[in-house]
Amino acid sequence: MSHNTIKDLSIQVDLNGLSFCILNRTEKQIEYLNTIAFETKLNPSEALDQLKAELSTNTVFSDDFESVVIIHQNELSSLVPTSLYDEALNADYLKFNTKILQTDFISHDTLKTTESVNVYVPYVNINNYIFDTFGSFTYKHASTAFIDSVLALDTTKNTLYVNVSTNALAVVAVKDKRLELYNRFEYHSKEDFIYYLLFVVEQLGWNPEILDLKLSGQIYKDDDNYSICYKYIRNVSFTDKNLKYSLNKKLNGNPNANHIILNSF
């Protein structure tokens, strides 16, 4: 790599898979994008083994990086209004909606786009390995990147943004450019998928004939989840691309499927 070339690396860690993205800041272009899906859900130790194998064998990671970002994607997170947040109560915020251990390390992100703090459990073994490999780095929760990315869009109509991962969907509700709701649900069928979406719509008091549903992540026009959404919600489309950088034409990754990591820089 030229000494005049500045590159950033972003890695998204999920127990169902890994995603990698390299931004060439000098050329203002995403030059590498790749996702590795695991055959089964792994534990954090097994996920680390997969990460080590990929970083040690793929030559694209041998470059010098100006910055490294790790995105932790899991169900172990909770949003707290900034006005009510107390770091000493991190465990209390999480214990009401997720199972945590007394030994879990708890971190938090301050969201850029709304007066909220995201409290979550990162994969500490991943963080430790990244520090040993690259030195200083930053990390955040996937929901932080997702919420900040959609609130940066010019959304005036009642809109549900849904990011789909393996057996899970993250839902952000936006009204008049304000965050109304964030939640995450695990699903195992298309019926589960639409049930949770319609449940959110009902709780918000929104009309499925009028609202906009914007989809991103692992969902495509020809799959069952998309079809059942279209059956019950009138206005269904994919999330608008609002990338700050161009995409290298040689990339194999689908920008919509990689919405979160592409908006992590």
pLDDT digits (tens, 9 = 90+) for 129-141: 999 999 999 999 9
197 plus 229 within the same structural domain: yes
Q: Which of 59-63, 111-115, 152-156 has the lowest mean pLDDT?
A: 152-156
Q: What is the mean pLDDT of the chain?
A: 93
95 plus 133 within the same structural domain: no
How much is the average pLDDT of 196-208? Answer: 97
Buried residues in 226-247 as b, exposed as e (16+ CB within 10 A): bebbeeebeebebbeeeeeeeb
Phi and psi of 25, rounded to 5°?
A: -70, -30
* pTM, to two decimals: 0.94
Q: Is residue 2 part of a domain?
A: no
227 plus 133 within the same structural domain: no
Q: pLDDT category, 3, cuts 50, 70, 90? A: low
Q: What is the model's pLDDT at position 253? A: 60
100 plus 164 within the same structural domain: no
Q: Is residue 1 part of a domain?
A: no
87 plus 22 within the same structural domain: no
214 plus 85 within the same structural domain: no
Q: Tokens 């195992």 map to which residue?
A: 188
How much is the average pLDDT of 114-136? Answer: 96
Which one is predicted more confidently, 25 or 250?
A: 25
Q: Is residue 50 part of a domain?
A: yes
Contacts of residue 147, Cβ cutoff 8 Å, sequence gap at least 6: 111, 113, 114, 116, 118, 172, 179, 182
Q: Is residue 162 part of a domain?
A: yes
Under a CB-based contact definition with an 8 Å cutoff, are residues 98 and 132 in contact?
no
CATH code at 163?
A: 3.30.420.260
Q: Give Cα 240 to chain centroid, integer Å.
A: 16
Tally of structural domains, the chain:
3
132 plus 194 within the same structural domain: no
195 plus 171 within the same structural domain: yes
Q: pLDDT category, 179, cuts 50, 70, 90? A: very high
Q: pLDDT category, 241, cuts 50, 70, 90? A: confident
Q: Give the H or E element holding residue 187.
A: none
Residues 45-55 have pLDDT tens digits of 999 999 999 99
> 133 is in which domain, residue-wise?
7-74+123-147+242-262
* Strand duo 67-73 + 7-14: pairing: parallel
